[in-house]
Chains A and B, each alone.
Chain A
Amino acid sequence: MSDSAKVTDKLLPDLPPPANSTGFIGWMRMHLFSTPANALLTLFAAYLLYILMVPSINWALISADWIGDSRDACTSGGACWVFVYNRFDQFMYGFYPEVERWRIDITFVLLVVLAAWLMLPRMPKKGLVSFITLIIYPVVAFFLLYGGSFGLEVVETHKWGGMSLTLILAIVGIVAALPFGVLLALGRRSEMPIVKSICVVYIEFWRGVPLITVLFMASVMLPLFVPEEVDFDKLLRAMIGIVLFQSAYMAEVVRGGLQAIPKGQYEAAQALGLNYWKMMGLIVLPQALKLMIPGIVNTFIALFKDTSLVLIIGLFDILAIVQAGLSDPNWLGFSVEGYTFVALMFWVFCFGMSKYSQHLEKRFHTGHGAR
């Protein structure tokens, strides 16, 4: 053996990591107190949290009044949730007649059951349930909510309102904007010049105008241009406006995902003899949609919150109906409670969407570096 050769036949054993580098103490040392400056910042942040959180919690929970009939029940000096408690039904159902409110309940219970069926990985017959959810359910929901047949009384859409209206607008917007967005994105990447230019013009037009303008146009301008006999429902016009607007945003998110799919995936699909729609539907879109989950959910959340803009065209979504409640002389001065409640409602749904999207991302992760 030459002098420069080195050899070992002794295998080193696996040792535990040094103490203080793992566990809670180790984590604190590493992330909170790694340097004197860092430790100072940590203490300062803790102090800030303390002076902000304690009064907030005290106001909202500890010294708050919850139940009662009028503002006289609010004596503890904290938040007066009595206002919300008294008007809760109206905040949920708007001006929907009280005796008919079970129809809204059934509509949403049905939706929750169907959605849960689709979201839980272990449930069987996903194809059939998707069909029911996307094709049959909207029809059923329409007849339940609007009525007019099967002996159900007609409830005009101007009586709809509150959280149920917000959810209807958001769900219709989300369900319709995604497929339109996908088609627009495919169109924008198409090699056919006419299809491509139509999609580009559409997307750039709708992205260039504010949603408020669109809603104003739909509710104020449109009736001026169509003959008087044609009476579009105001809610329907708002829905169409929202869908047209949001599908343009969705298209750009989808396009971003499509661009991230390597050319080799298209080539492999083509080489196997798949035509354009099969290639897109089986190979490209499933991968692109997976990449796009954060962007899509971001758009969904923005859409959900944007529905509150319909208050300017006289639809009473959750925000508008709380605002209306605040102008009731009996309940003047509870705007902080009212708006906190609205914020909380929006936050619950948006946070739910965000969490579900994180779960989806994990579920669809199928290993790395695959091409």
Chain B
Amino acid sequence: MSMTHQVEDDKLMVEMRGVNKWYGQFHVLKDVNLEVKKGERIVICGPSGSGKSTTIRCINRLEEHQKGDIIVDGTTLNNDLKNIETIRREVGMVFQHFNLFPHLTVLENCALAPIWVRKTPRDEAEEIAMKYLRRVKIEEQALKYPGQLSGGQQQRVAIARSLCMNPQIMLFDEPTSALDPEMIKEVLDVMVELADEGMTMICVTHEMGFAKTVADRVIFMDKGQIIEENEPHEFFNNPQSERTQAFLSQILNH
């Protein structure tokens, strides 16, 4: 449970202003405005195809936006490769399908970016890797290959791999959607712990329990637009928009 955490009101980590994106003719993001303060935990939810994944994938330039501004920790995202690399060093990302590197051991997966991007000496990088593997309680698997681990274990490794770069912001793109039900909790526990330590987090997820207990704000997106944005208690108990009400009744009552 996260009771005492610090949101620094004056420090914006992510700022999206009037962001628009098209896939060919298809308008996938429509005038998205989002501000995330340091230490804040945002949950983005919405039906599939609503643009929630695309929104967070624009933050680290896995997708390119065509209109509007995105500023991450003071750096403006444009076509300058230097800026993109700076931002990617500061932003960690966890994917729905883990995307671990199958030809490398768990330890090598984690130490890779510190060695090659941050130029950390190998033994130091491996120490960092072990530290985060311990934190996600998986250090005993360090020398195995990802293919030998369960889905939940792989996702925890993926979280550790991101943390090894010491990111300022963590993006989670449906981190539990590809997991078997009995493995969801072990991943959510790690995420809750991370939130308790004050990490700035933006999570796209369908885990409404996680949203209720951890989020500072819940954002509901539909058809490429932000429809509603509120603190979790109000969002779940008193949704304003009809579309939000319809969505919540679909996912909560079954």
A residues touching B (Cβ–Cβ < 8 Å)? 262, 264-265, 267-275, 278, 282-283, 286-287, 290, 364, 366-371
Q: B62 at the A/B interface (Cβ < 8 Å)?
A: yes
**Sample (8) of A-B pairs whose CB atoms are under 8 Å apart:** A262-B99, A265-B99, A267-B95, A271-B60, A271-B95, A278-B117, A366-B145, A371-B99
A370 neighbours in B (Cβ, 8 Å): 100, 102, 145-147
A264 neighbours in B (Cβ, 8 Å): 95, 97, 99
With A271-B93, A273-B89, A370-B147 known to touch, is A364 a contact of B101 (CB < 8 Å)? no
Q: B91 at the A/B interface (Cβ < 8 Å)?
A: yes
The answer to whether B103 touches A287, judged by C-beta atoms less than 8 angstroms apart, is: yes
Closest CB pairs A-B (n = 10): A367-B147, A370-B102, A370-B147, A268-B99, A264-B99, A272-B113, A271-B93, A273-B88, A366-B145, A273-B117
B residues touching A (Cβ–Cβ < 8 Å)? 60-62, 81, 85, 88-89, 91-93, 95, 97-103, 112-113, 116-117, 145-148, 158, 161-162, 165
Residue from B60, B116, B158, B161 in contact with A278 in the complex, judged by beta carbons closer than 8 Å: B116
Instruction: Give Cα A369 to B81, complex, Å.
Output: 33
The answer to whether A290 touches B103, judged by C-beta atoms less than 8 angstroms apart, is: yes
Q: Which of B60, B103, B112 has the most CB of A within 10 A?
A: B103
Instruction: Give Cα A264 to B99, complex, Å.
Output: 5
With A367-B148, A370-B145 known to touch, is A270 a contact of B100 (CB < 8 Å)? no
B165 neighbours in A (Cβ, 8 Å): 272-273
With A273-B117, A273-B165, A287-B102 known to touch, is A367 a contact of B97 (CB < 8 Å)? no
The answer to whether B99 touches A267, judged by C-beta atoms less than 8 angstroms apart, is: yes
| Contacts A268-B99, A268-B158 supplied; 7 other A-B pairs, CB < 8 Å | A264-B99, A268-B100, A271-B93, A272-B88, A274-B113, A283-B101, A370-B102
Instruction: Give Cα A268 to B97, complex, Å.
Output: 10
Return A347 CB to nearest CB of chain B, in Å.
33
Instruction: Give Cα A248 to B54, complex, Å.
Output: 38
B101 neighbours in A (Cβ, 8 Å): 265, 268-269, 283, 287
The answer to whether A286 touches B99, judged by C-beta atoms less than 8 angstroms apart, is: no
Residue from A262, A273, A278, A286 in contact with B103 in the complex, judged by beta carbons closer than 8 Å: A286
The answer to whether A366 touches B97, judged by C-beta atoms less than 8 angstroms apart, is: no
CB nearest to A364 among chain B residues: B103
With A267-B62, A273-B85, A367-B147 known to touch, is A282 a contact of B99 (CB < 8 Å)? no
A265 neighbours in B (Cβ, 8 Å): 99, 101
A282 neighbours in B (Cβ, 8 Å): 112, 116
CB nearest to B113 among chain A residues: A272
